[in-house]
Copies of this chain bind each other. A is one copy, B any other.
Amino acid sequence: MSLEKSVLIVDDEIKIVSVIESYLIHNEYTVYKAYNGKEALEVFNKESPSLVILDLMLPDISGEEVCRNIRKISRVPIIMLTAKVLEEDILNGLDLGADDYITKPFSPKQLIARVGVVLRRCTGDRQFLSNVLSFNNNDLVINLLKREVKKNNQVVKVTPNEYNILLTLIKFSEKTFTRDELISIVLGDDFDGFDRTVDTHIKNLRQKIESDPKSPSYILTVFGVGYRFDAKP
Instruction: State the A residues within 8 Å of B (CB).
Output: 1, 45-46, 48-51, 71-77, 87, 90-91, 94-95, 98-100, 107, 109-110, 113-114, 116-119, 121-124, 127-135, 143-147, 159-160, 171-172, 174-176, 222-225, 228, 231, 233
When the two chains form their complex, are residues B113 and A94 in contact, meaning their CB atoms are under 8 A apart? yes
Specify which of A123, A131, A135 lies most central, judged by the most chain B CB atoms within 10 Å of its CB.
Answer: A131
Nearest 9 CB-CB pairings of A with B: A160-B224, A75-B129, A72-B233, A94-B113, A76-B130, A122-B129, A50-B130, A124-B128, A147-B176
Q: Are B122 and A109 in contact (CB under 8 A)?
A: no
Give min CB distance, A224 to chain B, whole Å.
3
- Nearest chain-B residue to A69 (Cβ)? B233
Which partner residue on chain B sits nearest A49 by CB separation? B130
B95 x A113 contact (CB < 8 A): yes
Copies in the complex: 2
Contact B91 A113 (CB under 8 A): yes
Q: Judging by beta carbons under 8 Å apart, are B147 and A225 in contact?
A: yes
Q: B residues within 8 A CB of A130?
A: 49-51, 72-77, 119, 122-123
Closest chain-B Cβ to A33's Cβ sits at a distance in Å of 18
CA distance A223 to B164 in the complex (A): 13
> Is B45 in contact with A171, judged by CB distance below 8 angstroms?
yes
Residues of B contacting A146 with CB < 8 Å? 174-176, 222, 228
Does A121 lie within 8 Å of B121, measured CB to CB? yes
Choose among B72, B119, B134, B159 the residue that contacts A74 (Cβ–Cβ < 8 A).
B134
Contacts of A172 in B (CB 8 A): 45
Chain B residue contacts of A174, Cβ below 8 A: 128, 143, 145-146
Find chain B residues with CB under 8 A from A129 CB. 71-77, 122
Q: How far is the CB of A71 from chain B (nearest CB, A)?
A: 8
Please give, as numbers and ranges, the residues of chain B lying within 8 Å of A124 by CB-CB distance.
128, 145
How long is the Cα–Cα vector from A1 to B117 in the complex, in angstroms? Answer: 25
Nearest B-chain residue to A77, judged by Cβ? B130
Task: Specify which chain B residues have a CB less than 8 angstroms from the CB of A1 in the assembled complex.
Answer: 131, 144
How close is A43's CB to chain B, nearest CB, in angstroms?
12
B121/A122 in contact, CB under 8 A = yes
Residues of B within 8 A of A122 (CB): 121, 128-130
